[in-house]
Structure 1
């Protein structure tokens, strides 16, 4: 029995949009793998193995920190997914879309910052830029974003949730910058709960606020009877 596989079928496979999209999606992962294998500065197992296996620490080490990173990731993914999904038909809807895109980029930066300890270790020690300078630039970025989209945030979203998130973030930042561990007692559980706990609650509130706005935008995009700019 002979099997025929026409060239036209082969073209259909390679020109399939899903396959092309998959190849494009693969590219950054392949680049990371290739660079990791070619470089000689860091042993490859250090980059590929699970951190708990490499460091030989309990699997619950850094659980609160990792939970915060995952929540940042959730915020970034939801915002950026909504940004690419919705197709605004009015100027207001377009501003909301761009506002969500900006929040998605901010969330992605905060995720990478926490995941790689950029403002604490990488940027100060590798690039020589002070930690407080990185924090100041990040704060400036966030404040500028809020001011630029103030009409969207304060008139069309439940902004009190965002304010609550900043209250938690501010508490964590104040404790981190101005309160030393020795003020409460070295190694005190209270110190870490106040600092890291406030930060986690801030990230959770930030994520809830953005997921709420994104959900309402997606609902508005799918249901023509739902006003896209009615977010409260």
Structure 2
């Protein structure tokens, strides 16, 4: 009996490996990246001499915890906003994949797909501070980056305005309005310490909550509608 179960498990494992090669390839590439970092650290001791610790410290900083014992709540709301971006993005990506399977279509839902792309761009900007980094290191003013994002959102609305009007767009409108307030608070020289921060980051967090509610509602209704159609 045990031999039969072992054989069955082994056969199932081989079947999953053959069917999910992309998963193995992805994990293999990530492992190669980490292996390359390990080799780099080892070689640094031989070839870089006194510069060894600086180069090793660079690798350690890539995996450092954003935590300070003296200020455990440091950047709490900043990290919270990043989580909210991820929630919206996850809803869209999961729903897009699910809809493709329900509809048996390779195209999926363009509205949800491009929504996921937009959310990915904003998430990357928020995590890696792309707008701030380009301003400080490259000299690209924030107003240019915000203008590009604004142009992208306008293009998004123009492309899908009919679809948007069939959804609870008030949530999307409120979310975008709060993002505009957040951007203006970042650009304008508002006096004070707490007020600019609350206007910028507080508006962004509230806007993200509205965006999550919007895509949750839109994706849930679209998945249920497609599921009912496929069962007819």
Q: Which residue of structure 2 aligns with residue 216 of structure 1?
A: 221
Q: Which residue of structure 1 aligns with residue 122 of structure 2?
A: 110
Q: Which residue of structure 1 aligns with residue 150 of structure 2?
A: 139
Paired residues for 1:1-232 under 5 Å: 13-17=13-17, 20-27=21-28, 29-30=30-31, 32-34=33-35, 36-37=37-38, 38=40, 43-52=58-67, 58-87=71-100, 97-121=109-133, 123-154=134-165, 156-180=166-190, 183=191, 185=192, 187=193, 189-224=194-229
Mapped contact 1:13–1:19 kept (Cα < 8 A): no
Q: For 1:115 and 1:29, how far apart are their aligned partners in 2?
A: 20
Matched residue SS, 1:58: coil
**Structure that is richer in helix per residue:** 2
Q: TM (normalized to structure 1)?
A: 0.76
Residues 1:20 and 1:174: Cα distance change in structure 2 (over 3 Å): same
Post-superposition offset of 1:221? 2.8
Q: For 2:72 and 2:30, how far apart are their aligned partners in 1?
A: 25
Post-superposition offset of 1:43? 2.0
Q: TM (normalized to structure 2)?
A: 0.76
Number of residue pairs aligned between Structure 1 and Structure 2: 213
What are structure 1's unaligned runs of at least 5 residues?
228-232
Matched residue SS, 1:115: helix
- Once the two structures are superposed, what CA deviation does each residue of 1:99-155 show, in whole Å capped at 9, x if it has no partner? 11111111111111111111111x33455543322222222112111111111111x
Alignment RMSD (CA, Å): 3.4
Q: For 2:60 and 2:104, how far apart are their aligned partners in 1?
A: 51
What are structure 2's unaligned runs of at least 5 residues?
45-54
Post-superposition offset of 1:226? 9.5
